[in-house]
Amino acid sequence: MTSLESVAVYLPENRVRIGTLREQLGMTVPEMKVFERYFGLAEVPRDEGDLADLLLGAITRLELTPQRAARIRYVVYARSIPVVAPYPANPLHDALARAGLGHAVAFAVTQHACAAGLLAVDLAGRLLAATGDPDARALVLTGEKAFTRGAMLVPRTSVMGEASVACVVRAGGERDRVLTYAVELRGEFDTFRISDEMAAQYREDYPKILGEVIQATIEQAGLRPEEIALILPHNVNTISWERICDLMGFPVERVLLENVPKTGHCFCGDGFLNYRTAVDSGRLRPGDHYLMIGVGTGATFAAMVLQH
């Protein structure tokens, strides 16, 4: 069974009010007011360094000893955007070399867009199980730069923030065990070829599809919704989660939404960012069952049930 051994988060101190980005995002004043007043967004973190610096910010917070670093067999970098640097630059390998992890097999997964973080955890667990080495570990990384207008904004949905996550994954273990993982792929909503009619249909179907995936994942774990202590969401906005909870009959108070105004949507990292907040604030107790959620454009709906 796959488990999360440790999770470190780097949140840049520099924050930008989303209202100051309005012209850069190509939004009208009324559109920005919707984001601020209706969607619950206020500011996003922005890192002053390059992408390698951003990734290194989370890796260094793991405080890996040389012995623990030597156990890292794989590094799986979960990305929303397929291309993040011009060839031949490779920020991932640059960060790993600086962190003393150049020995690990490192690669990126992007196929699930902003749901790729959960895909990376699942894939890391499968790779570790295949090694047969109980001491082997994998490192899941997230973190991207909002370096273009397209990377800064999810239209009618959210503003992107810059942060990074480093998560050590192991096969076996008793801490934060993965019980189930479910994915629903809806390629008819590919945003690069979607018509206006299909885009409207996606906005209408979105809460229902995600709610169904959440419920299916809970059932696969042999649990009931009332046994879920907390949902760690993707931080796109608050109103979409209110709609999802209303459809599911799930208390919105058990969805950790406090980071939405402070971080915006940090690509593949939201679930892990919210995990760190939940643990540090005492909202997860030993034995609690919780969900991590990820939704990627394209469209991918993913949910993972874990036990703390």
Q: Do both 151 and 35 map to the same domain?
A: yes
pLDDT tens column, 226-266: 999 999 999 999 999 999 999 999 999 999 999 999 999 99
Q: What is the pLDDT of residue 192?
A: 65
Residue 92 neighbours by CB under 8 Å, 6+ apart: 52, 55, 75, 77, 106, 108, 141
Q: Do both 23 and 85 map to the same domain?
A: yes
Domain end call among 122, 142, 171: 171
Domain end call among 171, 206, 225: 171
Domain end call among 125, 155, 171: 171
Q: Do both 16 and 141 map to the same domain?
A: yes
Q: Do both 130 and 202 map to the same domain?
A: no
pLDDT tens column, 268-300: 999 999 999 999 999 999 999 999 999 998 899
d(CA 91, CA 89): 6
Q: Do both 58 and 118 map to the same domain?
A: yes
d(CA 203, CA 196): 11
Q: Is 21 helix (H, G, I), strand (E, B) or coil?
A: helix
Residue 218: domain span: 177-307
d(CA 163, CA 246): 30
Do 72 and 133 touch, CB atoms closer than 8 A?
no
Q: What is the pLDDT of residue 191?
A: 65
Q: Do both 63 and 162 map to the same domain?
A: yes
d(CA 121, CA 125): 6
Low-confidence ranges of the chain (pLDDT < 70): 191-192
Q: What is the CATH number of the domain that holds 217?
A: 3.40.47.10
Q: Do both 182 and 303 map to the same domain?
A: yes
